[in-house]
Chain A
Amino acid sequence: MMALPFFTAFLALLTTWRGWRGATMALWALTIVVLLVLVKLHFTDALDIDL
């Protein structure tokens, strides 16, 4: 699952090379969504700092 954003980004770069701008932007958006889900899964504990 941690590898997923790299795979979607790789596909986005392949579509960039092919000149398929719409597909690139859609795959980029998917990469960001996956990244945010992974961030959510890893940001679970409170930080030991006083703001």
Chain B
Amino acid sequence: MMTPSLARTLNALGLVAISVPLLFAFTDQFVNHDLPCPLCLLQRAGFVAAGIGIALNAIEPRPAHYAMAIVSSIVGAAVSLRQIALHVVPGTGGYGDPFLGMHFYTWAFVVFVLIILGSAAMLFLEGQFEPEIGYQRPRLAGLGLFAVALFALIALGNAVSTVAECELGLCPDNPTTYQLFEGQPAQGTPPDDGGSATAQ
């Protein structure tokens, strides 16, 4: 029986799980100086948007919150698929270094699909939506508070990092420097296979 309390705990754990690929990408960005391409940033934003629905579920599970996670994951998965398609033809290379045999954008697609399937599976368990006796809307505490706070910090970190990388405009196809600190990249930089639709 899926109780509201158990569903809140599972969603908090899910939010921590979504934080892992974002933290991994962030670590890769700063340790290996592997700047995220525009499509990579859009995929990160897709994860963060999906996390908002899951964060709401960590307080009070509702079908609409799962719908938010599913819609966000569909948008994120579409971006991942776009980037996979840019490199699907043999010989077109990839963007960034692969991890465990797949590029980050392919892993991102896998995780988006897992979020969609996980949310759909949770929607089957309707016990979590039934009103509890003596119900009072819970406040964030414990694991839920930790998960939401961690996720909010990751979102803010990505916001600051993106401003540093791209300032207030669109990011270059193949970012090599933080524009905020080092100025605009030289014109005529050859397009890479990495970031946007213009880079093929």
A-side residues, CB < 8 A to B, are: 1-3, 5-7, 9-10, 12-14, 16-17, 19, 21, 24-25, 27-28, 31-32, 35-36, 38-39, 41-45, 47-49
Contact = CB atoms under 8 A, between A and B. Distances in A.
- Sort chain B's interface into a size bin: 35 or more
Contact of B48 (A1, A6, A41, A45): A6
B114 interface: no
Given A1-B170, A9-B155, A49 B89 contact: yes
Contact of A35 (B49, B156, B196): B49
B75 A35 contact: yes
A16 B140 CA distance: 9
B55 interface: yes
Given A2-B169, A10-B152, A24-B52, 12 more contacts: A5-B48, A9-B51, A19-B59, A19-B137, A28-B53, A28-B72, A31-B48, A32-B71, A32-B75, A39-B42, A42-B38, A45-B197
